[in-house]
Structure 1
Amino acid sequence: MISWRKHYKKTLIAIGLLLSTSASFYGQDGDPKNGEKLFKANCTACHALDKQVIGPPLKGVVERVKTEGGVDRDWLHKWIKDNKALRASGDKYANEIFEKYNKTEMLQFPNLTEKDIDDILAFTTNPPVEPPKEDKAAPAPGADAAAPADKSTTNIVIISLLAIAGLLVWILLKLRQLVKLGQSEELTGLNETRVRSFKEMYEKFHYVGKGIIAVLAILAAYGVWNWLMWIGVYKGYKPEQPIYFSHKIHAGEQKIDCQLCHSSAKYGKVSEIPSMNVCMNCHRTISEYNADHYMEPGKDKAFYDGEIQKIYAATGWDPAKQQYTGKTQPVEWTRIHNMPDFVYFNHSQHVIAGEQAIINSFNKKNPNNKIDVVCKACHGKIDTMNVVQMANDFTMGWCIECHRTTEVDMNNGYNKEYFKNLHDKLKKQYPQDGGKITVDAIGGLECGKCHY
């Protein structure tokens, strides 16, 4: 009896050790909540839980590596900390994974502790279930029922207005009949002497008529001239684009530098439309939209995800296989800013040579609306626009006014040397500005500068 109890006790101990080992292997000894934080901080650039990004999906990865490669928890720790060294050691399964995923080398994480890795594995094994999000676009209860009621109310109002209008017409007809019945013979004679046609009125008051016609002709000429002067001025123009792109999200919330995408604005005459490959630098790993607090009214996650899929279609990117298919589709962007052919404008001249001068001038004229990037002086606060629009007139007068008010920095190395012999002469020529030299003083109003 005693022997049986000892054997039973040993069996229970063995089962307990087996269960604890199994639990440890599957990551249950870790903290899933802390693992979620570590996962988002270290893994989401290349991995997702439920789909392939650059690397494979990580949900259930502990069970998967055990089934596929017959490896244990220690192998996962080695792989995460230094997969390169593990492959170099000749580990068969490590090299199979490397070959399977296009020889894309995984980052090394020697900074993660054993506890950190256990927490991440616990999260991938049993990720917390998020509560379902409330559908903001769903109609309020009873909205469908209220629609017919609103329609019937509108019909009643229209019928009532028509009835009132008919009643007013009937009253006017009756009043006219009463007036005719009440007219005396004297009134009838007086009516016969009144002007009954435009011709008679013009003959009687022709001087006044000619004066009115002259005034109307002048006003019409001014109106036509004013209309002609504003042809091609489209301030506020903001067309819909084939792929929705929010500058507020990218330049505003994410603080992406303008020149990361519009690089030629700094080094060339024209600020080009970025290639779709520039978008793929980030969106190769960002395949869905998860920033709820950046959403615009009337737009949901499905809308933003659909726009990202348009980028993939344009570049021929297959997110499932993480490779390009070679089937691309050109994107027909609608141009917003476009100078006429007879106007010369060089972006680099303003972005590099005139950067600080333009910023200082703008902030001086707009103390309550200061800018920190030279692009905003012409294009407005682009980092607050969801849909880009033309923020200024971009007329000749608008450019000239800027040249007349923007002060040139005569102390920077280039201007100090280039205008060395003209410096004192210009100060004497423009004493009204207290020695300040604006762009117009150094040729900013010469016709050939902009028209060639």
Structure 2
Amino acid sequence: MLLTTSASIYAQDLKGDAKKGETLFKTNCSACHALDKQMVGPALGGVVDRLKTEQNLGVDWFQKWIRDNKALRASGDKYANEVFEKFNKVEMTAFPNLTDQDIADLLEYTTNPPKAEPAAAETDVNSPEAIKAAQDEKNNSSALLISLAAVGGLLLWLLFRLTQLVNLHRKSGEISALDATRINSIGEFYEKYNTLGKALMGLLALFALYGIWNWLMWVGVYKGYQPEQPIYFSHKIHAGENKIDCQLCHSSAKYGKVSEIPSVNVCMNCHKGISEYKGKYIEEGKSREFYTAEIKKIYEAAGWDEGSQSYTGKTKPIEWVRIHNMPDFVYFNHAQHVVAGEQTIIKAKKVDVVCKACHGQVQEMDKVQMANNFTMGWCIDCHRTTEVDMTNGYNKEYYQKLHDKLKKQYGGETKMTVDAIGGLECGKCHY
């Protein structure tokens, strides 16, 4: 959105409020503009004086441009058409709802943006309070050292006294008689406790076999697996804070066997116009600058030049680390589960999106991790507990006879679950 003019050249007696203008700018303009750099549209910092000097344009021109730039271009306005051609013929959104005061506020913000509040001053190390605190810390350290020295001295005295007592008993012969009853080697110990030793060895062997068996049962089970990715992607920001639907990025999940990793052009659909992070949510240990730097990695992969707002053709593949990966002997179809499960799984598992039944609360994950075991037992348990939606017209007609049979066999309150319609057949998953 091309905004220009300053309070000094207003034709109207309207004084702009930079604070209000900042709010309006963030709401209406920040997707395409910044004050200090070119994005989809030009940088707007200081643009008022620049266009007044270079084009001799006043407030009336800018009001026409902001409210309906298409009509202004159609009128034959030279500069309006030059701007349109320069920025790749990207048509700016019209804002007919903005009042003269709103525009004055926006223009004031582009000319005199509010200064950031200064950081709190650091504590003066030479202040009386700082000197007193340092002295107190020194006194505490000295007291601690004296206490430790006293405890050390007491322990040394106790050791000396115990040595004296042992030597006294050795002279009396009591220690020598006690030594004669002691076991001095492992062999002597084994001979003395032969039966107990064999029992313990057998018990240890059983524990070892159990440990090996338990380890084998967890081969290929990676619940909690959370690898580092080449570009830090926070699902909490995208799916949680911004409420982006899973299938906007993973579009093949509903119609294909595999839910593919989105290609970089999917990322650029949004990030072509979002070059820096300005959200409120910041993960502990991270910063807005950190998230912005990760966006730049997307640009590098896509070959996007921010300055010219064009692709260079020099692309770089993003080597994502796969998290969920079924073994080769397992058949799993995303489309089958997403389409059929949108009703059944949501009702049975009490989740709002079917994806969460397997992948967990992804919208709360900064770094995605494997949320479940994905063992055969886990899948079977899901099929045994997930109800088929019998209010669905197709299911009600197709499974009615089977449902009546189950009710007759197990009682009138019997629910139709996935295992009853073939969910436990080996050939469904193994072929």
Bin of the TM-score, shorter chain as denominator length: 0.7 to 0.9
1:379 aligns to what? 359
1:340 aligns to what? 327
Contact 1:406-1:438 at 8 Å conserved across structures: yes
1:225 aligns to what? 213
Contact 1:23-1:29 at 8 Å conserved across structures: no
TM-score under structure 2 length normalisation: 0.84
**Does the C-alpha gap of structure 1 residues 27 and 133 become closer, same or farther in structure 2, counting only changes over 3 Å?**
farther
1:216 aligns to what? 204
Deviation of residue 415 (structure 1)? 2.0
- Whole-angstrom distance in 2 between the partners of 1:336 and 1:311: 20
Deviation of residue 424 (structure 1)? 2.2
2:311 aligns to what? 324
- Segments of 5+ residues of structure 1 without an aligned counterpart are 1-19, 364-370
Letter in 1 for 2:224: G
Where in structure 2 are the equivalents of 1:290-439 lying within 5 Å? 290-291=278-279, 293-363=280-350, 371-429=351-409, 431=410, 434-439=413-418
Where in structure 2 are the equivalents of 1:91-106 lying within 5 Å? 91-106=77-92
More off after superposition, 69-78 vs 267-276: 69-78
Correspondent of 2:224 among 232, 236, 239: 236
More off after superposition, 193-202 vs 48-57: 193-202
Deviation of residue 207 (structure 1)? 2.5
Where in structure 2 are the equivalents of 1:65-84 lying within 5 Å? 65-84=51-70
- Whole-angstrom distance in 2 between the partners of 1:165 and 1:446: 72
Deviations 1:340-398 (A, max 9, x none): 111122222222201222122223xxxxxxx3222222222111121222222221211
Deviations 1:175-231 (A, max 9, x none): 6544433325xx856754665433344334333222222221111111111111112
- Whole-angstrom distance in 2 between the partners of 1:139 and 1:277: 49
- Whole-angstrom distance in 2 between the partners of 1:394 and 1:342: 14
Deviation of residue 101 (structure 1)? 1.4
Contact 1:427-1:435 at 8 Å conserved across structures: yes
- Whole-angstrom distance in 1 between the partners of 2:312 and 2:232: 23
Contact 1:343-1:451 at 8 Å conserved across structures: yes
Count the aligned residue pairs.
413
- Whole-angstrom distance in 2 between the partners of 1:96 and 1:207: 99
- Whole-angstrom distance in 2 between the partners of 1:234 and 1:295: 28
Deviations 1:37-74 (A, max 9, x none): 33222222211122111111122333222333333322
Letter in 1 for 2:171: L
**Does the C-alpha gap of structure 1 residues 34 and 192 become closer, same or farther in structure 2, counting only changes over 3 Å?**
closer
Where in structure 2 are the equivalents of 1:94-173 lying within 5 Å? 94-132=80-118
Contact 2:388-2:418 at 8 Å conserved across structures: yes
More off after superposition, 116-125 vs 251-260: 116-125
Identity %: 63
Contact 2:66-2:94 at 8 Å conserved across structures: yes
**Does the C-alpha gap of structure 1 residues 413 and 91 become closer, same or farther in structure 2, counting only changes over 3 Å?**
same
- Segments of 5+ residues of structure 2 without an aligned counterpart are 1-5
Does 1:247 find its partner at 2:235? yes
**Does the C-alpha gap of structure 1 residues 189 and 394 become closer, same or farther in structure 2, counting only changes over 3 Å?**
same
Structure 2 counterpart SS, 1:354:
helix
Structure 2 counterpart SS, 1:90:
coil
- Whole-angstrom distance in 2 between the partners of 1:200 and 1:38: 89
Deviations 1:13-33 (A, max 9, x none): xxxxxxx99632599643434
Contact 2:7-2:15 at 8 Å conserved across structures: no
Correspondent of 1:289 among 267, 273, 277: 277
Does 1:53 find its partner at 2:33? no
Structure 2 counterpart SS, 1:36:
helix
TM-score under structure 1 length normalisation: 0.80
